[in-house]
């Protein structure tokens, strides 16, 4: 347990609406990540952050943006949700000097 | 372009026997490999890892083997227990990419009592 919480845990929304998912950590780790999990694909990296206001794209970043205004929070925004963004979203942190990432409990998002 | 592949979507074993989960990769720049276990409705939990400078790492019932020439790694669980039933993901990273993880598709392990 790396002190990671995600909110909301479940959300149903409609196509075209904006959605923001929050990842919160309590241990001030520098590196944070957003993944999505879909059947047949494992987990795929959306965006990651290596410090406050320092972010970069992952392999499936189209349609997503992120912000990190303070160390403990990493926000993932779907500007205009689409049905293809129905997924389970996981946040992760990485402790400096380690390669291992530790995951939050996930947010299940359904876009109708 | 799937750089990490787990070719077996599912595996079923008897309690007490060995479970062997396999993973193949294509990117020769990967230098660190991890296994995660995932129960339904929970986040992945780190299980064991191995650096590319090693060929084996052991932690209790779990052993990971790395064959760099074949670009293949495997996870051995001995003895298997019903509580080991979960989805297992292998993942790989390269230091120069900021330790971004690339995951396989996962293997559902079922351990029967």
d(CA A53, CA A24): 15
Q: Where on the phi/psi map is residue A46: left (φ > 0), alpha (ψ -120 to 50), or beta?
A: alpha
Tokens, residue A30: 């520098």
Average pLDDT per block of 10 residues along chain B, 113 residues long: 92 98 96 95 95 96 97 98 97 80 96 96
Residue with tokens 């590196």: A31
Interface with chain A: mutation pick from B6, B43, B57, B59, highest number of A CBs within 10 Å: B43
Q: Of the candidates B101, B98, B112, B89, which has an alpha carbon nearest to the alpha carbon of residue B9?
A: B89
pLDDT at B98: 64
Instruction: Give Cα separations from B47 to A81, B60, B64 (angstroms).
Output: 34, 11, 10
Chain A, nearest residue to B101 by Cα: A45
Beta bridge partners of B33: B50, B92
On whether any CB of chain A is under 8 Å from the CB of B7, the answer is no
Rounded to 5 degrees, what are φ and ψ at B6? -115, 105
d(CA B106, CA A60): 18
Within chain A, strands assigned E span: 4-7, 10-13, 19-25, 31-38, 42-51, 54-57, 64-70, 73-78, 87-94, 101-103, 107-111
Percent of chain B residues topping a pLDDT of 90: 92
Residues of A in contact with B44 (CB under 8 A): 43, 90, 103
Q: Of the candidates B91, B75, B52, B72, which has an alpha carbon nearest to the alpha carbon of residue A103?
A: B91
Interface with chain B: mutation pick from A33, A34, A36, A43, highest number of B CBs within 10 Å: A43
Give the residue, A67 or A99, on which the prediction is more confident: A67
Q: How does residue A2 score in pLDDT terms, banded at 50, 70 and 90? A: low
pLDDT (tens digit, 9 = 90+) per residue, A6-52?
999 999 999 999 999 999 999 989 999 999 999 888 999 999 999 99
On whether any CB of chain A is under 8 Å from the CB of B64, the answer is no
| Span of A83-92, A96-105, B5-14 with lowest mean pLDDT | A96-105
pLDDT at A106: 97
Asked if B44 lies within 8 A of A103 by C-beta distance, the reply is yes
């Amino acid at each position: 347990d790396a002190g990671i919480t995600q909110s909301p845990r479940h959300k149903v929304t409609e196509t075209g609406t904006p959605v923001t998912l929050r990842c919160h950590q309590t241990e001030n780790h520098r590196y944070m990540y957003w993944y999505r999990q879909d059947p047949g694909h494992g987990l795929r990296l959306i965006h990651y952050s290596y410090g406050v206001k320092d972010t970069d794209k992952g392999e499936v970043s189209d349609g997503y943006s992120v912000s990190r205004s303070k160390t403990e929070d990493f926000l993932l925004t779907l500007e205009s949700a689409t049905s293809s963004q129905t997924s389970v979203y996981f946040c992760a942190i990485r402790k400096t000097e380690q390669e291992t990432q530790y995951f939050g409990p996930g947010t299940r998002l359904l876009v109708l | 372009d799937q750089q990490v592949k787990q070719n077996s979507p599912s595996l079923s074993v008897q309690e007490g026997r060995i479970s062997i989960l396999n993973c193949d990769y294509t990117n020769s720049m990967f230098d660190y490999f991890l296994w995660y276990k995932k129960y339904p409705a929970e986040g992945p939990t780190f299980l064991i890892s191995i650096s590319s400078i090693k060929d084996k790492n052991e932690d209790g019932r779990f052993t990971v083997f790395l064959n760099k020439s074949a670009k293949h790694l495997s996870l051995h669980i001995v003895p298997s227990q019903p509580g080991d039933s979960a989805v297992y993901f292998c993942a790989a990273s390269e230091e120069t990419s900021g330790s971004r993880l690339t995951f396989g598709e996962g293997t559902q392990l079922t351990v029967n009592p």
